[in-house]
Structure 1
C-alpha cells in the first residue's frame, strides 16, 4: 500500500532546517521547551538525537528576550564557520525581524552578530523565515515580509536578496518573487526554500494559517533566478494529499541524503506540537513530487486511443473521458514516482451500467503498468455523472511510468487518477 511519510522525530520541532557536516546531519527548529533554537543530529536522516542545550543561548541586543518569539532558524556553512539567521521580535519596531549569529561549529553555541537586525522592514510587517541559496559564488537570502501580522492586511511577498558570503550583511536590494494569490493560500505565503533542479529554479513555500489542517506546501518554477515564477496549479503537500496521515504539512527544507538522493523534511501537527517528517523527493521535468503525497492526473490530459473527452459539469475540471467502449479503447497516463515500490492508485470514475435485465451493474477497466498487465479496477454502480473513487495498489519504478486503463466489462467513464 501507499506509505505515509515517516515520522522521524516525535517531538515539537517546527520549521526544520538541515545542514550536513561530514557524516552528520544537523537539524535546527523553532523554539520549544524554553530553548530559542532546537538542535538535533542524525547520520541517516531517520534516527535523530535531540540536543538538550539551546544552540542560540543569547539573542542579539536588538531583540526582545523571549524564546517563544524566536522562529525558523536557517544555518549554513560559509567555509570559515557556520551562520544562523533567525527570526525574533525587534525592540524598536515591535515586529518580527531577521537577525544573525555565528559559530565555529554546527553544534553551537551561536553568538549574535550586530546590534540591529539584518532585515527589518517594519512598515511591511517585519521579516521572517530566512533561507539561503547560493549560485555562481554568490549567496542570497530569501525571506517573507510579515504583512499578515498585527492586523495590517498587507500582501505577503517572498523576497530574494544578495548578501555577503557569510550572510551577516545584505549587499543589494530585495527582489519580490511571489505573493499570496491562490485560494488555497488564503492570506499568506511564507517559509521559502529555493533549489535548482534540471535547469529549473524551484521555489517551495508554505501557505495558509500555520496552526491547523489548512496549512500546506506549494511551489513555483522559473527559468531565471529572479523570476518570473509560475505557481503550480495545485499544492504539493496538504493534509488531504497525505490522506490525513500528516496534518498541516509545511515549514519544509530539501536535503540530499547519504545515498545522494533528495529528501523533503517538514513538520506536521501531532497533538499540541509539530513533529518532524521526511519523504522521498523526486523531480518530474524539474517539478517536485513527494512520495506519499497524492498527485492528480486529469483523464482529459492523458493519451487517448478510441476514447473521447466530453463536458462533465460534476467532474473535477468540468470534463471527463468516456466512450471507452471498444476492444482497443485505452486511456494512458504518464505518472512520476519519487521512489520505487508500492503506490496507491485512486481512480475517479462514474458507472451507469445496467445488466441484461436492466438492473444496476458493476463494471471494470483493465489495468496495465509500464506495459505489464496488472489485473482490473472494479467500479460499483454509481449512475452517470456521479463520481466515486476506486483504489488499487500498483508497483512503480523511480521516475516516469505509464498507467493504462482499457476496456473491461460493461462501461465506465474517467475523471482523473491520483497517485501517492
Structure 2
C-alpha cells in the first residue's frame, strides 16, 4: 500500500545496484540526529507539505492515511505538530465502504497548492481508495481520486468519480504523488500492481496545470516491471534538485516488515532514470532505532531537503507514528543527516 516507503538512509554507505533487486541489504545502522518523532500516536503514510496562507500563515502540514485523512499542523518542521482534525468530511461517492469500521480503505493522501493569491489559495489532494467490494467480478480495483479545498486543513471536497484506475490485468492504481517538470508540466505519478500474476510498475500521467484534477494525456511507464523485478515497488515520490536531476524514491518489500527499504532512481528526466541506489541501508535487528520506516515524502524548504515518514511501533495492532528529518546527499545518494 501507499507510502510505506522507507527512509533508512541513516548514514550508512549506500549500495549501488546494477539493476532491480528483490530485497534491501540487512545491516545494523544508526539514524541521523535530525530525525524527530513529531506525532507519537498512529499516523501512517504522512503526506508532507509547507504552505503559506493568509488565514494560517506559514506552516508545515502532515496528512495521515485513514478515514477523514487526519491533518496535523506546526510552525516548525521538527516539533509542535498538533492534529487539527479531519481534512475530508464524509467519503468520496465512488469508494467502497466496508462494513468493518476499522478498514477505512482510504490511504496515501498527497496535498499540493495550485493557487497562492493571499485569501484565494487553492489546494488539491490526491488519495487512494477501494472502488469495489472484495470478491467483485472486476478484481477489487483500487483507484486514485482527487479533492479540492480553499484551505490546507480542508474540508477537501472529492470529485464524484476517480481520476485514475488500473488498466486491464492490474488490480490497483495507488500511491499518488504530484510532480511538476522543469518545463512546467504537471504529472500524477503512481503505482499500478498485480499480485497474481505478480508485477508492478510506476506510472505517470500528465494532468492539467490549473488544478491537477483533469487528465491531459495518457499514462506512461516510468519504471517497468522488467526493471523493477518481482519485489513490490510502490510509494513513488519525486524530487528535482537544483541541477535539474530528477530523483524518484520508491519502496521495496512488504510494508509491514522491518526489511522494508527505499531505492532512489536518478536521471535527467522522469522518463529517463538510471540504475537504482539504496537510500542507505536498513537493518532488521532489534538494536536498530527504526522498524519499517516508511511513508516517505520529501519537500524542498529554502535549500533544505526535508522528509517525513512513519516507523512501526507495534505490529498487532499496527501502529506507525510520524517522524521528520533532513536529507543530505553523498555521491549522488541521499541519507538522513
Give the TM-score normalised by the residue count of structure 1: 0.62
Matched, 1:204 2:245: no
Partner residue in 1 for 2:112: 76
**What residue ranges of structure 2 are gaps of 5+ in the alignment?**
1-29, 53-57, 116-120
Q: Which residue of 2 is the match for residue 90 of structure 1?
A: 131
Q: Distance in 2 between matches of 1:2 and 1:231?
A: 22
Stretches (4+) displaced over 4 A: 1-4, 179-183, 240-243
1:266: which partner in 2?
Answer: 309
In structure 2, do the counterparts of structure 1 residues 230 and 241 end up closer, same or farther at CA, with 3 Å as the change threshold? farther
Structure 1 position 27, deviation (Å): 1.0
How far, CA to CA, are the matches of 1:102 and 1:68 in structure 2? Answer: 20
Structure 2 CA distance for partners of 1:2 and 1:216, relative to 1, 3 Å: closer
Given the alignment, which residue of 211, 217, 230 partners 1:172?
217
The answer to whether the aligner puts 1:46 opposite 2:78 as a matched pair is yes
Give the drift of 1:116. 2.1
Question: Is the counterpart of residue 58 in structure 1 residue 99 in structure 2?
Answer: no
Larger Rg: 1
Separation in structure 1 between the aligned mates of residue 331 and residue 320 of structure 2, nearest angstrom: 31
Cα deviation 1:286-325 (Å, max 9, x = unaligned): 432222xxxxxxxxxxxxxxxxxxxxxxxxxxxxxxxxxx
Deviations 1:323-345 (A, max 9, x none): xxxxxxxxxxxxxxxxxxxxxxx
Indicate if the aligned counterparts of 1:188 and 1:208 stay in contact, CA closer than 8 A. Answer: yes
Matches within 5 A, 1:190-339: 190-197=234-241, 198-232=243-277, 234-240=278-284, 244-257=288-301, 260-271=303-314, 272-291=318-337
Aligned partners of 2:222 and 2:270 also within 8 Å: no
For 1:201 and 1:2, locate their aligned partners in 2 and report how far apart those are by CA, in whole Å.
25
Task: Tell me, yes or no, if the aligned pair for 2:78 and 2:325 is still in contact at 8 Å.
Answer: no
Kindly tell me: are residues 181 and 263 of structure 1, through their superposed partners in 2, closer, same or farther at Cα, counting changes over 3 Å?
Answer: farther
Give the structure 1 partner of residue 147 of structure 2: 101
Secondary structure, counterpart of 1:51 in structure 2: strand
Calculate the aligned-residue CA RMSD, in Å. Answer: 2.5
- 2:42 and 2:158 map into 1 onto residues whose CA distance is 25
Deviation per CA, 1:135-156, whole angstroms, max 9, x where unpaired? Answer: 22211010000223xxx22311
What CA deviation, in whole Å up to 9, does each residue of 1:232-263 have, x standing for no partner? 1x343524599610111222111234x64112
Structure 2 distance, partners of 1:244, 1:181, is 33
Q: Is the 8 A contact 1:180 1:187 kept in 2?
A: no
Deviations 1:19-62 (A, max 9, x none): 2112101111111xxx3311100111122433353211222221
Conservation of the 8 A alpha-carbon contact between 2:142 and 2:166:
no
1:26 aligns with 2:67: no
Q: Structure 1 residues 2, 231: CA separation in 2 closer, same or farther (over 3 Å shift)?
A: closer
TM-score, scaled relative to structure 2? 0.76
Contact 1:159–1:177 (CA under 8 A) maintained in structure 2: yes
The answer to whether the Cα contact below 8 Å between 1:202 and 1:287 also exists between their aligned partners in 2 is no
Alignment size in residue pairs: 281
- What CA distance in whole angstroms lies between the structure 1 residues aligned with 2:42 and 2:226? 30
CA shift, 1:163, in A, is: 0.5
SS of match in other structure, 2:269: coil
| Secondary structure at the counterpart of residue 222 of structure 2 | strand
Using the alignment, how far apart are the partners of 1:105 and 1:125 within structure 2?
A: 33
How far apart, CA to CA, are the structure 2 residues paired with 1:270 and 1:61?
Answer: 33
Match of 1:335 in 2: none
Distance 1:64 1:200 in 2: 39
Q: Which is richer in strand? A: 1
Measured in 1, the distance between the counterparts of 2:240 and 2:150 equals 28
Which of structures 1 and 2 has the larger relative contact order (alpha carbons within 8 angstroms, sep 6+)?
2
